[in-house]
Amino acid sequence: NAGVTQTPKFQVLKTGQSMTLQCAQDMNHEYMSWYRQDPGMGLRLIHYSVGAGITDQGEVPNGYNVSRSTTEDFPLRLLSAAPSQTSVYFCASSSPTAINEQFFGPGTRLTVL
Amino acid sequence: QKEVEQDPGPLSVPEGAIVSLNCTYSNSAFQYFMWYRQYSRKGPELLMYTYSSGNKEDGRFTAQVDKSSKYISLFIRDSQPSDSATYLCAMTFRWGFGNVLHCGSGTQVIVLP
């Protein structure tokens, strides 16, 4: 099993550009989520999903969109990148029987100029 | 004042020593307490979680929660160089998916061979 995979590993964007961060998991987990991690700020929840077709907002959803068409994939879209979105983004997944035991991907380091 | 305070370190210890990590928090409504380990350039990995006050042990790791003092601790016995990582404390008001994680900023631990 590859676990949780994220692409790309690194990305540099200009202000106003859009992009999609990819996340996939092969553990058949129903629950998936996106976090951002900034220095001194810990992990902040952006969006989460409890199954295909079901998504909800987390703590800091503004500027980000998600959709979940399959159990395996949970992409995160930045519609118009801003310097404040410079961060490390982590995708995580978990099983409904172990909700808080989330498996995290390796992260995407995003810089917005 | 941050909701969850954690000394950023770095904390350097010789191999075999006990590593003592702690976090303080301000909101007495927190019920679930987690510790994550994060290696450099990797995603966080859940080490332990506890509910309310008390101790929990898992191998070389012991987590303690003192709700009366709003203080949580993680002890690593017989530390190894492979324990060198950043340790994040996190807490939530309730158990379940999509809960906001209230995190410390992480403590960097260096175990010297």
AA letter at A56: D
pLDDT digits (tens, 9 = 90+) for B58-90: 999 999 999 999 999 999 999 999 999 999 999
Model confidence at B8, pLDDT cuts 50, 70, 90, reads confident
Residues of B contacting chain A (CB within 8 angstroms): 4, 8, 32, 34, 41-46, 49, 88, 90, 92, 95-106
- CB neighbourhood size of B10 (10 A): 11
Chain A residues in contact with B96 by the CB 8 A cut-off are 99-100
Contacts of residue B20, Cβ cutoff 8 Å, sequence gap at least 6: B73, B74, B75
Tell me the C-alpha distance between A6 and B62, whole Å.
Answer: 32
Tell me the C-alpha distance between B17 and B29, whole Å.
Answer: 34
Tell me the C-alpha distance between A96 and A45, whole Å.
Answer: 18
- Which tokens hold the place of A70? 């399959």
Tell me the C-alpha distance between A35 and A23, whole Å.
Answer: 12
Closest chain A C-alpha to B102 CA, distance in angstroms: 8
pLDDT recorded at residue A79: 92
Average pLDDT of the residues in A30-44: 89
pLDDT digits (tens, 9 = 90+) for A46-99: 999 999 999 999 989 999 999 999 999 999 999 999 999 999 999 999 887 777
Q: Which of B4, B23, B46, B86 to mutate to test the interface with A (most CBs of A within 10 A)?
A: B46
Q: What is the mean pLDDT of chain B?
A: 92
Among A42, A96, A101, the residue with its CB nearest the CB of B103 is A42
Q: Could you tell me which chain B residue has the CA closest to the CA of A94? A: B97
Among A35, A43, A99, the residue with its CB nearest the CB of B97 is A99
Model confidence at B4, pLDDT cuts 50, 70, 90, reads very high
pLDDT at B29 over 80: yes
Chain A residues in contact with B8 by the CB 8 A cut-off are 40
pLDDT recorded at residue B5: 93
Half-sphere exposure of A25 (CA within 13 A, CB side): 27
Q: Could you tell me which chain A residue has the CA closest to the CA of B9? A: A40
> Does A41 lie at the interface with B, CB-CB under 8 angstroms?
yes
Pairing of strands A76-78, A19-25: antiparallel
pLDDT at A100 over 80: no
